[in-house]
Amino acid sequence: MSAMAAGRINPRSNARNDARDVLRCHGRTFFVASHLLARVHASRAATLYAFCRHVDDLADDAPDAQAARCALAAVSRALIDGRANDPWTAALLALQAQTGMLLAPARALVAGVASDLDPVRIADEEQLLRYAFGVAGTVGLMMCAVLDVRDPRAAPFAIDLGIAMQLTNIARDVGDDARMDRRYLPATWVGDIAPTAIAAPDAALQAVLRAATRRLLALAERYYASGEAGLGFLPVRARVAILAAARMYRAIGGRIAAADYRSWDRRAVLGSAAKTGHAALALASFACLPRLHRRDAIHDTSLQRALGAHG
């Protein structure tokens, strides 16, 4: 599941009118942050979010894996052909025409979501990072176009922030994913264990899962730091909004740590008041941290070595 997506949307909705409602109901972290964006950027971001949610729903709500694959393949074809029957893909194509957004990241997102239709057994950290790029780093790339960011130096930092958020999602959803026959924790960290074992771990496995979740969040921190380093490439209001979204997502990791990295039988949640508080703290940071306004950040290429040509 992509980092931007959570909840369900009505496939018969009018995308242009309802994208903001989708964001309000199902993407509360991003909805809070979107209030800090310029109106046109907030509208575009809601459209992108609704498309990401639609893609996830096609995978999650289909009667079987084959039906989901067919539905996702239809979206991928529509992105290539430039014509779509569903309102959410049509809205993304309209957004592409408006912003010049490249559609290769959208197709990579669809492929990443499709990979979840098979039993997921992540082998190593490199595969984990490639998956996180597919379902979330790609969203960072599309957000650059949404926010009118034309400087190509911004792209790797946007990818890193998307990866960081996805790693936080994975750390939060260890148990939920296991119950869907998915193990994103790399075998090189936890062994080649089955998701059924994660869902009901014995004491020894609990220690392994805690260590792996701690390691996962530490890895996410490296990508958050890189993502924040590139905020200076964004327009000022977008800079504030993306910083707020990043800080809210990072706070989920703090909740997981406070629960002793136990997420196989619980799910860390950041309430509305806490989100508002972290957004306010982000505003304070924005005002007093000069590095957030610099446009001379040099990207650490080692962070994307696993991505190959994508990085």
The SS3 call for residue 8 is coil
Q: Residue 99: what pLDDT?
A: 97
**Which amino acid is it at 172?**
R
Nearest partner of 227 among 168, 285, 154, 128, judged by Cα? 154
Q: What pLDDT does residue 48 have?
A: 94
pLDDT at 280: 79
Residue type at 196? T
Q: What are phi and psi of 191, to 5 degrees?
A: 90, 165
| Residue 303 CA, distance from chain mean position | 17
CA distance 7 to 3: 12
Buried b (16+ CB within 10 A) or exposed e, 124-144: eeebbbbbbbbbbbbbbbbbb
Per-residue confidence (pLDDT) for residue 12, from 0 to 100: 43
**Distance from C-alpha of 257 to C-alpha of 184, rounded to nearest angstrom:** 18
Q: Which one, of 174, 263, 171, 268, lies nearest residue 221 by Cα?
A: 171
How much is the pLDDT for 282?
Answer: 78
- Residues 203 and 68: their CA atoms lie apart, in Å, by 37
Q: Which pLDDT value is given to residue 8? A: 42
Q: Which helix (H) or strand (E) holds 12?
A: none
Q: Which residue has the tokens 């960290």?
A: 189
The CATH number that domain 119-311 falls under is: 1.10.600.10
CATH 1.10.600.10 maps onto the chain at 119-311
- Which residues of the chain carry a pLDDT beneath 70? 1-17, 20-28, 31, 309-311
- Give 256: exposed, middle or buried? Use CB within 10 Å, 0-12, 13-18, 19+: buried
- Treating both helix axes as pointing N-terminal to C-terminal, what angle do 15-26 and 39-61 enclose, rounded to 10 degrees? 80
